[in-house]
Amino acid sequence: MIKRLLSLLVASVILLSCTSAFAELKNTDPITITMLNRVNAEVVFEGNAMLEAVAERTGITLQIDAPPISNYTDRLQVVMASGDLPDLIYTWDFDTKYEKWAEDDLVWALDDFIEAYPNLMSNITKPMWERARASSTGKIHAVPRPCGSARWGVISNQEWLETLDSTMPTNLDELYEYGKKVATMDPDGNGKDDTFLFSPYGLWADVWLISAFVPFPNVATGLVQGLPDTDGEYKVLERMSGYYPYLEYMRKLYSEKIIDPEFFANKYYDDRTKFQQNRVAMVHGGAGNIAEYTKDVSNAMEIYKFNAPMIGEDQTQPVNYQESSVWGGWMISKDVDEEKLDRILSFLDWCNSEEGFILTTAGVQGIDYESYDFATRTLIKTDEQMATSKLDLSSYMSFAWALDGQMVSPSDTPEKIAFCNEEIEAYDAIVKTIQCPTISLASYTSWPSEHPDLVSKKKEMEVKYVVGEIELEDLQSFIDEEWLPAIADVEQEYIAYMQTYDAQ
């Protein structure tokens, strides 16, 4: 305890000595900001070194309501419907719910304010801001949370591959054959047929597999992200050449008990939990996830590997569909007056500066880490600091997960940092990255929020087909007779929009 108090005292002295950085904060008078955020369960708020240092530096005490990550989406909807909102609210997606909250004037439109905050404007690119623009209002209603360049792939359990005398699949046929082995040859050695290839978080979340069939869709809306089909034509997802083949492939995996039969009940993170529990062979993830596992799993470097997406029948190399790199965003309650709005935006601006970024992502030097080289993003921790930082920090408590496009660090020891960088380099060497455009067509992006019942029915019909409750003709009948006629007008607007976009 004495060592921790001494470290806090040293940290306070260091913060107070940063006179040049004080100019970035116009006001450091004490104030409390209430917030709703998804935070890792290990984090302890009382006596939290990072939060105490933030209060010392900025005058802001963060009073955080942090429901379990797996239930955060449900809690967020309840809070937003209650009429009693915290000052600062984290949204994971700029989805149909976000569109509705903006339309209902529950959160501030920020367009007229953000240019006064230089760090927000320099660290958050125009495409990132556009991700937060609600088509329902035409305004930006959240401060995007920048993250590193997205590399979507699949993390595999190498021990299982070796146990089953297999190599990592690269295409759909190899994946199916490996999946049969996982489901029937007891890779965990418990004598039961209770292991599966993967446990998807929803049908349209596992981009490493979906990209072998269709361009990366927006998981929240089910709409394609402004990318053409294999014939070069723009289409809605249900007209894409790979739409039915993807669902048929998933149905085959399900019918042969290759994928987790309880996947449709998964909540966010359940897929990761099952992977770390050695219940599934693979899990969807990005470059940031392999870094996360090196911190959370003691032997991750020996048993996990980050792999490229699957290759489709007509593809010559794996493809990474990359959106502008944001990890949700920070909404500000409309109940906040303009004076407090300025304090919150000033705080978020500071979090997007070098000083604020380091403190809110790396923590307090001497308590949460040993040393940090910002230029190379090399963060070094002792074993004790690794344990302490899990109590003080969370990836979700970093208000900007990347500065100038780079995370705070790939991991927390030189060996792990080298491992993560090697995995990323190997990925980049074989994967083609395609940038998804930001769609600013209000009628297209708001359509799902205006037709929630039909959207829900479509998702239900897709799941029913995959699990064998209905046949292909039943799904096709719904798509042809209900879905496509309902979306016909906005489909034509979308196609015309993308053709104009290409011509510019």
More confident residue, 223 or 495: 495
Contact 275, 160 (CB under 8 A): no
Supply the pLDDT for residue 503: 83
Supply the pLDDT for residue 335: 97
DSSP string over 19-78: HHHHTT-S----EEEEEE----TT---TT-HHHHHHHHHHSEEEEEE---GGGHHHHHHH
Supply the pLDDT for residue 480: 98
**Domains defined for the chain, CATH in brackets:** 2-147+326-408 (3.40.190.10), 152-322 (3.40.190.10)
pLDDT tops 70 at residue 18:
no
Coil, strand or helix: which one is 63? strand
Supply the pLDDT for residue 46: 95
Which residue is associated with the tokens 């062979």? Answer: 281
Distance from C-alpha of 403 to C-alpha of 358, rounded to nearest angstrom: 9
Two tokens at 399?
């208000």
Choice among 158-162, 220-224, 295-299, 374-378 with the minimum mean pLDDT: 220-224
Two tokens at 309?
């997406």
Residues 191-245: pLDDT tens digits? 999 999 999 988 988 989 999 999 876 655 556 778 999 999 999 999 999 999 9
More confident residue, 407 or 149: 407
Two tokens at 313?
């029948």
Distance from C-alpha of 468 to C-alpha of 456, rounded to nearest angstrom: 18
Contact 186, 193 (CB under 8 A): yes
Of 234, 260, 286, 310, nearest in space to 407 by CA: 286
DSSP string over 128-167: HHHHTEETTTTEE-SEEEE-PPP-EEEEEEHHHHHHTT--
368 pLDDT band (50/70/90 cuts)?
very high
Residues 164-179: pLDDT tens digits? 999 999 999 999 999 9
Of 422, 213, 405, nearest in space to 325 by CA: 405
Distance from C-alpha of 246 to C-alpha of 479, rounded to nearest angstrom: 15
24 pLDDT band (50/70/90 cuts)?
low
pLDDT tops 60 at residue 12:
no
pLDDT tops 50 at residue 9:
no
SS3 per residue for 338-367: HHHHHHHHHHHHHHCCHHHHHHHHHCCECC
Distance from C-alpha of 53 to C-alpha of 171, rounded to nearest angstrom: 49
All residues at 6 or more sequence positions from 72 whose CB lies less than 8 Å from its CB, including other chains: 38, 92, 268
Coil, strand or helix: which one is 238? helix
pLDDT tops 60 at residue 423:
yes
**Residue-level length of the chain:** 504
pLDDT tops 50 at residue 16:
no
All residues at 6 or more sequence positions from 116 whose CB lies less than 8 Å from its CB, including other chains: 345
All residues at 6 or more sequence positions from 59 whose CB lies less than 8 Å from its CB, including other chains: 25, 27, 28, 29, 30, 31
Single-letter amino acid code for the residue at 38: R
Supply the pLDDT for residue 199: 96
Two tokens at 209?
């597999």
Q: What integer best gives the mean pLDDT of the chain? A: 89
Distance from C-alpha of 401 to C-alpha of 118, rounded to nearest angstrom: 18
Supply the pLDDT for residue 449: 77
Contact 212, 218 (CB under 8 A): no
All residues at 6 or more sequence positions from 502 whose CB lies less than 8 Å from its CB, including other chains: none
312 pLDDT band (50/70/90 cuts)?
very high
Choice among 40-44, 67-71, 211-215, 367-371 with the minimum mean pLDDT: 67-71
Q: pLDDT over 90 for what percent of the chain?
A: 67
Residues 115-159: pLDDT tens digits? 999 999 999 998 899 889 988 898 999 999 998 777 889 999 999
Q: Residue 503 burial by CB count (10 A; 0-12/13-18/19+): exposed, middle or buried? A: exposed
Mean of pLDDT values over 33-47:
94
Choice among 52-66, 78-92, 199-213 with the minimum mean pLDDT: 199-213
pLDDT tops 60 at residue 17:
no
Distance from C-alpha of 161 to C-alpha of 282, rounded to nearest angstrom: 10
